[in-house]
Structure 1
C-alpha cells in the first residue's frame, strides 16, 4: 500500500506538494514492536507497582517519583493494544474519533510524563550527591508529592491541544486516526509540536546532562566519601556511589537510546514536510521519504522506554531488591530458591 506524507492521505493527484511512497514496513514493524513493549513493559511495571505499593513500608521522595514514573509507563502501555490493532489493520481505525483523540492524548501525555519524572529523579539524586547535608532539609516526602502533582498538571496542560489536533478522516474504505493532525492543521501543529519538544524534552534533557556531569565530577573527588559519611547515610559511600553510577547509566541510556532518536527524527521529518509544502524544490520526495522512514523506525525506541524505567527501579534501588528478597525468603526458605525467585520476578 502506498502512503503519502500525510499519514496515509493520498493527495498526490491533487497537488505537486505531496509525495507518495511505500510504507508497508510499518504495518509489520509497529504492531510487532508495540506488542513486545506491551508484554514486557506491562510485566515489569506491574511488578514494580506491586513492590512499591505493597512491599514498601516507608515512602521516600525517590519512591514517590518512581511510583509516578511507573504509573506513567503503565498507562502508556495500556494504549498500545489499540495502536497494535490499528497498524496491523493498515491504518484502518475501527473506533470513534473521540476515542482516537483519547488514545493519542494518553500516548503522548504518559511519554512526556516519563521524561519529566526521570528528570525529577535525576535532580533528586544530584542534590543528594552534590549537596548531601542540605538535601536532608531540602527534600521531604511532602515536597515530592507536591512536585509530582505539579508535573502531572504541566503534562496535562501541555498535552491538552492533542485532543484538538487529533482527528479521524475516512479515506476510501479506511478511517485514518492521525498521529499528527489533518493536513489543513499541520502548520499550527508544527508550531505546537516544536514548543512541546523544547519544553518537555530538550530542557529536561539538558538538565539531566548537566546534573549527571556534575555528579560524575563529584563522585570522582577523593573528599566525597567523607562528605557522604557526614550526611549520615545509612549505607557506606561505596554502596551509594555504585547506586548512583547505575542510575546515571540507566537514565542516560533511556534518553540517548529511546527519547533522543525519536525527537530528532520526528523534528527532521516535520521540518522537511513543512518545507516541501512551502517550496517543493527545496525537499525532494526521496529525502522526505527517508526522514519519514527514520521517524517511524525510532517510534518503537520511544515506546521501549516503558521497559527501561522498571530496570532503573530494580537495579538502582537497593530497597526494591531487599523487598523482593524478603518476600522470597518468606515463601521459599532455601537460599538457592531465594535467588531463583528474585531472578524470576525481575
Structure 2
C-alpha cells in the first residue's frame, strides 16, 4: 500500500503516499475560467476609463500598473485551463510553463507591493495632510511603482529556475512549484518569498490602516476637516484591502506554507499530506481573484468612477444600436439633427 510509482509522485522513486487530485480537472478549469472572464472585463473597463482620463492621480498610476499585471496573468490562464482540462497534460513547452508560473507570482507579489504603496499614500494623506504634500506627487508615484517592480523581479528570478516541465506516466506536465527532486531546495526559497513578499508588506499595510482608523475616528485633530464622503471613501478602501487579504492572500500563504512544510518534513503522514495538498490547491485558483480587485478598488472607492463607467457604457451602447428609419424626405429632418431627434 505504501509503495507507489512515479504516476502519483512525479519521480522515478517510490512514494509513501498517493495523492488523490482528480478534483483539479473539474475545479481548476472552472475557477480559472471565472477569473479569466471577470478579470478581463473589470480590468479592461478600468483601463478604458483611465485612458480617457486626461490627468492621472497617484492612485490612478498605481491602479493602472495593477491592472497591467492582472491582464498579463489573465492572458496566461487559457493555457492552464486547457492543461487541467486535459488531465494535467502540458503541451506548450517548458518556456511557456516558466512564463505561466512567473506571471502568477508576478501578479501576486506585484499586487501586494502596489497595494502597500497605495496604503502608505493614503496613510500620509490622512494622518499627515500638510507635511506629506511634498511627497504626494505623480513623479514619486512613478518612482515607487518602478521600485516595486524591481523588487518583485528580484524576488521572482529564482522561480524561473525552479519552474520546469517533467514527465509523469510518460506524459509531460508543468510542475506547480518545482520538480519533486528539487523540492527541499525550493522549501527555503518558498519560506523566504512568503516573508519578504507577503508578511513584511502586510505588516506595513496593517500599521498604516490601524493609524488611519484611529485618525478617522477622531472628531478633532488632523481629520476633523474631512467630509463624510471622504471618510466613507477611506473606510471603503480599508475594508476592500482587508477583505482581499482575508479572503485571498492570507489563506493562500498559510495553506502554501503548511503544504511546503508537510511535503518536506511530514511527507510520510498520508492524511496530513493529502489535506495540506487539497487546501493549498483549492486556494491557489481563488487567490487569482485578486486580479479582479484593483478594478473594484477603482470603482467602489469613488462614485465619480462608477458614474463615468455607466455613462461610457450607455454611450457605447447607443452607438452600436441601429438607427430607426424616418419616414418622409431627408429634408424634413432638422439641420444637424439625427433620426432620433426627428422623431
Give the TM-score, by structure 1 length.
0.85
Match in the other structure for 1:276: 266
Alpha-carbon offset, residue 322 of structure 1? 4.5
Partner of residue 22, structure 1:
20
1:35 paired to 2:25: no
Partner in structure 2 of residue 255 of structure 1? 245
Q: Which runs of 5+ in 1 are unaligned?
A: 230-235, 334-346
Equivalent position of 1:299 in the other structure:
284
- Residue 308 of structure 1 deviates from its aligned partner by 2.4
- Find the counterpart in structure 1 of residue 192 from structure 2: 195
For 2:101 and 2:223, the matched residues in 1 are separated by 47
- What secondary structure is seen at the aligned counterpart in 2 of 1:169? strand
Counterpart of 2:83 in structure 1 is: 86
User: CA 1:275 to 1:319, structure 2 compared with 1: closer, same or farther past 3 Å?
Assistant: same
2:99 equivalent in structure 1: 102
> 1:202-248 deviations in whole A, cap 9, x for unaligned?
11111111111111111000115x7464xxxxxx5211100001101
Deviates more, 1:256-265 or 1:129-138: 129-138
Residue of structure 1 in register with 2:49 after alignment: 51
Larger radius of gyration, structure 1 or 2? Answer: 2
Kindly state the Cα deviation for residue 250 of structure 1 after the two structures are TM-superposed. Answer: 0.6
Give the Cα separation in 1 of the matches to 2:303 and 2:259: 42
Q: Deviations over 1:118-170 (max 9, x none)?
A: 11111111111111112211220000001101111111121111111011112
Aligned to 1:9: 9
C-alpha distance 8-202 of structure 1, shift in aligned 2 (>3 A): farther
**Of 160, 165, 170, which aligns to 1:163?**
160
Deviation at 1:321, TM superposition (A): 2.7
Gaps of 5+ in 2: 319-343
- Matched residue SS, 2:92: coil
| 1:15–1:117 Cα change, 3 Å | same
Kept in 2, the 8 Å contact 1:101–1:167? The answer is yes
Provide the C-alpha distance between the structure 2 equivalents of 1:84 and 1:242, rounded to a whole number of angstroms: 39
Aligned length, in residue pairs? 315
TM-score where L is the length of structure 2: 0.86
| Secondary structure class of the residue paired with 1:260 | helix
The answer (yes or no) to whether the contact 1:28–1:88 under 8 Å persists in 2 is yes
Question: Residues 7 and 178 of structure 1 are in contact (CA less than 8 Å); yes or no, is this contact kept in structure 2?
Answer: no
Structure 1 vs Structure 2 CA RMSD: 2.2
Counterparts of residues 120-159 of structure 1 (less than 5 Å):
120-159=117-156
Cα 1:304–1:25, aligned 2, differ >3 Å: closer, same or farther? Answer: same
SS in 2 for 1:73: helix
Specify the alignment match of 2:112 in structure 1: 115
- CA deviation profile, 1:68-93 (whole Å, cap 9, x unmatched): 11111111111111111111111100
Q: Does the aligned pair in 2 maintain the 1:6–1:183 contact within 8 Å?
A: no
Counterpart for residue 240 of structure 1: 230
Offset, 1:172: 2.2
